[in-house]
Amino acid sequence: MTALAPISTKDRILDAAELLFANDGFEATSLRAITAEAGVNLASVNYHFQSKDALLHAVVARRAGPINQRRIEALQQLEEKLRNEPIPIDELLEAFFRPVTECNVLVPRMMVRFHYLEARETFRAIYETHFKPVANRFAPALRKALPHLKPEEAFLRMQFTMGAFAQLAAGSGTMEVVSEGRMHAPTREEALRQLIQFTAAGFRAPSLGAGL
């Protein structure tokens, strides 16, 4: 049996930071906590990342890069298959969300925390660097799929969709608690299918017209 290669100091720091950022948040996690979790000294963090902000970006980039690459590849495949035709909204949602649900369980939790619980400037920095390019790539396809909606309506419905996804990603077991044990949480695959069916129907609903 081939022995596994030891985890590098840099990866130990990234793993520890990812765990703590996902569970406790960026603002609440100190470099001291990260070094303790990783079993390294502060000099190692400074050597590899220079600052806590740089460490945050490295943690996100390590996960967001592959996720966003898979999103873009899925979108490109749909565009090539349908050529100039609009991509059905449920297929767009599948391309956008599936890569997140299929990754390390900490990643969706960390993304939800950054999106909803962290300081605005922390989220802004993460979004602008790691997620805005892929959002801009999907935006034309989303508008083409939803010609009946004004841009403001499509944007707001996407925010509602992100909120529904946050519930899926959090994986907190609320279904069991609220139902007093009569219902059990679905698998990630089942939950994703339900999410897409539910939110696609919301996108397809008629425009409220002058409401916005």
pLDDT digit string, tens, across residues 174-185: 767 777 777 777
- Domain extent listing, the chain: 65-206
pLDDT greater than 60 at residue 1? no
Output the pLDDT for position 177: 75
Q: What does the DSSP 8-state code read for residue 51?
A: S
pTM: 0.84
Residues with Cβ within 8 Å of residue 142, at least 6 apart in sequence? 89, 92, 154, 158
**pLDDT tens figures, 141-153:** 999 999 999 999 9
Please tell me the distance from the alpha carbon of residue 183 to that of residue 36, in angstroms, as a whole number. Answer: 39
| Contact between residue 29 and residue 19 where contact means Cβ atoms under 8 Å apart | no
**Structure-model confidence comparison of residues 39 and 106, the more confident one:** 39
Residues with Cβ within 8 Å of residue 192, at least 6 apart in sequence? 97, 98, 101, 168
- Is the Cα dihedral 162, 126, 104, 96 positive or negative? positive
pLDDT greater than 60 at residue 158? yes
The hierarchical CATH code for the domain 65-206 is: 1.10.357.10
Question: How many residues are there in the chain?
Answer: 212
| Contact between residue 199 and residue 161 where contact means Cβ atoms under 8 Å apart | yes
Q: What Å distances lie between residue 100 and 20, 63, 64, 123, 183, CA to CA? A: 19, 9, 9, 18, 25
**Structure-model confidence comparison of residues 26 and 184, the more confident one:** 26
